[in-house]
Structure 1
Amino acid sequence: MSWYDEAGLRLIRMFDPETGHGLSLRALNAGLVRLPGQITSPRLRVQLAGLDLPNPVGLAAGMDKNAVALGPLSRAGFGFLEVGATTPRPQPGNPKPRLFRLPEDHAVINRFGFNNEGMAAMAARLEKRPQGTVIGLNLGANKDSADRAADFATVLETCGPMLDFATVNVSSPNTENLRDLQGKAALEALLRGVLGVRDGLARPIPIFLKIAPDLTEAEIADIATVAGQVGIDGIVATNTTLSRERLRGAHAAETGGLSGAPLFEKSTAVLGRLHAETGGAIPLIGVGGVGSGAQAYAKIRAGATAVQLYTALVYGGIGLVETILRDLEALLKRDGFATVAEAVGA
């Protein structure tokens, strides 16, 4: 990390986490952050559910909830971006404070509760999106919705024409009973509704499903079965965890979803199990604790076609993306893989 990036991170950490998050987006938009542009090579290029990605490292949902920094983020080296989560109506989310740093653990706990400006604001920004970047949207449901399953389809219907992919998020732990939608019957009905809307778009796009890490083997098997039956295009494994094992940070007891380094092993185990359950037939996106090229490589070898990260940027800065990709390419070359695809599930 350069001295300039380190100084910027130190400054941001002087503020409470949510204020610091907002400042980081402002710094990106103000041009105060060095951005490498697109990073790619023949070895790093990968195809994900029909999407041609310059590299397999994407930005996870949560950093740019309202798509306010698409321009600079498209020049930050990521192979693809995911914004949101977005709900039909704007909602404030849970009371503050709701974001906590655990620097001793290189982790974060959040209980935002799908705070966002709503699908109309999201659609207006996506209409002005930068071209040449693969951009997806994390679909959410309003907390007070009478039909949460329908909310996902509603957001897709409004924003779908401006997207390259969309992710159905039924795995956030911060909206009460949302994870109940991961049950076999409820999940199948929800996904068929979303896919029906997708099929009606002028330009149909891939639909991914984001799942929780706190699942039993039977639940993972059920999700794999439903995903195969309905024809989902990919599975994002995983969202944040409710587990608090072996944490040292002062905020370890806060409620909410834990992300970052402590999630790596749990999320990678779920990823590997999904790869086995699906026989590699459904593309997987590995998320949870990715903070190095070696960890991105481990996700790929466990079955991920691509990976996403966010929490690691809190501690390593946006320049971490370039470092991860450089190290990932070196690892692929070392082990004789000419492409990422050759290493998937190895």
Structure 2
Amino acid sequence: MSLLDLGTDLLRRVDPETAHRAAVRGLALLPGASSAKPDPILATGLAGLQLPSPVGLAAGLDKDGEAIGGLGRLGFGFVECGSVTPRPQEGNPKPRLFRLSEDGAVINRMGFNNRGLEAFAARLSRRPLGVIVGANLGANKDTEDKAADYVAGLKRLAGLADYFTVNVSSPNTPGLRALQGREALDDLLGRVAEARGPQPVFLKIAPDLTADEIGLIVEAALAWGIDGLIVSNTTLERPAELTSPQRAESGGLSGAPLKPIARRALAAAVEAAQGRLPLISAGGIDSGQEALTRLGMGASAVQLYSALVYAGPGLVRRINADLAKRLRAEGFASVAEAVGTAC
């Protein structure tokens, strides 16, 4: 067992939020991104970004951009930080983060706790080279014009991140998911289109939408020049097979039980997009096989987070190695060749 994995085992013995904070601080102490690159077969393009691996970190772990170098050393092809809101906010009352160990799952109702745009921008301005970094943008809980908060994030972080994600799918900020409706989405994306710079902009959606709703979002994204969709965020569903005593906690569910729900949302997005819009699949990614499955379904890249809680930081390199092996075994010469082959 490596020191990192030993640390993960110890952290699982303490309160989840305390463990989360300790993990970020520990990663922040690691030196900058390693010169060791993933297997060359994993290199791929996404909306103009050149990724060393299609396996990325989902937002939520490093909310304030504190541990970019350490996260880069784990083997991620790209690292998404945030969500960040214009003004600092404490988030929801504690406890707000729960391990469902029996289910390999997590429930969170953090509520966009972060130190705000200024602190985030300062860290991105000093970020290490060699890591592709995304900024996941959110809105303050008490902001009435939430679209204005996304515009503020785009403008303040212009040139500091490699890509941006407009997160309208967190279940823990009142009114946020309403931005996924077509009228509100057109207003939001129109203002984003006016404020954005040359970096790619992705839209992160919820997994609890119907296929028709996802279809409307795809068309809105295409109409306003959004560069891709992240499908998807945590779910409000509570699958019947959950056994943990924590299963009734409110908030977004992630981890292993999200896998079929995320696959369902991805399938709907693939059907609606018809190859016109790159898709990033998130939710329940925990192995090279699952990463390959999502690529075959039509995703161009994947993101994970909750699986690290149970499998430890060594998981990223294991997924990279397994995915590379499986790509070759299937006769693919690149990640791009595998995308959509199971459709």
SS of match in other structure, 2:158: helix
Question: Paired residue for 1:194?
Answer: 192
Question: Paired residue for 1:239?
Answer: 233
Deviation of 1:3 (Å): 5.2
251, 274, 280: which one pairs with 2:269? 274
CA distance in 1, matches of 2:259, 2:158: 31
> Would the alpha carbon gap of residues 340 and 249 (structure 1) be closer, same or farther in structure 2, given more than 3 Å must change?
same
CA distance in 2, matches of 1:268, 1:149: 29
Question: Paired residue for 1:24?
Answer: 23
Specify the code of the residue in structure 2 equivalent to 1:114. F
Deviation of 1:36 (Å): 6.3
Question: Paired residue for 1:226?
Answer: 220
Alignment map for 1:266-305 (pairs within 5 Å) = 266-305=261-300
333, 337, 340: which one pairs with 1:338? 333
Maintained 8 Å contact 1:195/1:207: no
SS of match in other structure, 1:258: strand
Asked if residue 81 in structure 1 is aligned to residue 75 in structure 2, the reply is: no
TM-score, normalising length: structure 2:
0.96
The alignment-based identity, stated in percent, is: 53
Deviation of 1:4 (Å): 3.5
SS of match in other structure, 2:276: coil
Maintained 8 Å contact 2:39/2:320: no
> Would the alpha carbon gap of residues 30 and 164 (structure 1) be closer, same or farther in structure 2, given more than 3 Å must change?
closer
Maintained 8 Å contact 2:141/2:174: yes
Deviation of 1:104 (Å): 0.9
1:214-236 Cα deviation digits (max 9, x unpaired): 01111011111111111110000
Question: Paired residue for 1:139?
Answer: 137
Q: Which is further off, 3-12 or 137-146?
A: 3-12
1:131-173 Cα deviation digits (max 9, x unpaired): 1211010000000002101110101100122011000000000
Q: Which is further off, 128-137 or 39-48?
A: 39-48
Deviation of 1:30 (Å): 3.1
Question: Paired residue for 1:13?
Answer: 12
Question: Paired residue for 2:42?
Answer: 44
SS of match in other structure, 2:281: strand
CA distance in 2, matches of 1:191, 1:65: 23
CA distance in 2, matches of 1:271, 1:229: 20
Deviation of 1:41 (Å): 3.0
SS of match in other structure, 1:27: helix
1:185-205 Cα deviation digits (max 9, x unpaired): 11111011112111xx3xx10
Alignment map for 1:65-214 (pairs within 5 Å) = 65-198=63-196, 201=197, 204-214=198-208
Specify the code of the residue in structure 2 equivalent to 1:17. P
TM-score, normalising length: structure 1:
0.95
CA distance in 1, matches of 2:177, 2:36: 36
Specify the code of the residue in structure 2 equivalent to 1:92. E
> Would the alpha carbon gap of residues 218 and 66 (structure 1) be closer, same or farther in structure 2, given more than 3 Å must change?
same
SS of match in other structure, 1:325: helix
1:237-287 Cα deviation digits (max 9, x unpaired): 000000111211110000000000100111112112211111111010000
Maintained 8 Å contact 1:285/1:305: yes
Deviation of 1:42 (Å): 3.1
> Would the alpha carbon gap of residues 146 and 102 (structure 1) be closer, same or farther in structure 2, given more than 3 Å must change?
same
Deviation of 1:57 (Å): 0.4
CA distance in 2, matches of 1:138, 1:112: 15
CA distance in 2, matches of 1:163, 1:179: 24
CA distance in 1, matches of 2:149, 2:27: 31
Runs ≥4 residues deviating over 4 A: 35-38
260, 270, 279: which one pairs with 1:265? 260
61, 64, 72: which one pairs with 1:63? 61
In the alignment of these two chains, the number of paired residues is 340
CA distance in 1, matches of 2:18, 2:149: 29
Deviation of 1:6 (Å): 4.0
SS of match in other structure, 1:77: coil
What RMSD over aligned residues (CA atoms) do the two structures have, in Å? 1.5
CA distance in 2, matches of 1:29, 1:279: 40
CA distance in 1, matches of 2:110, 2:97: 7
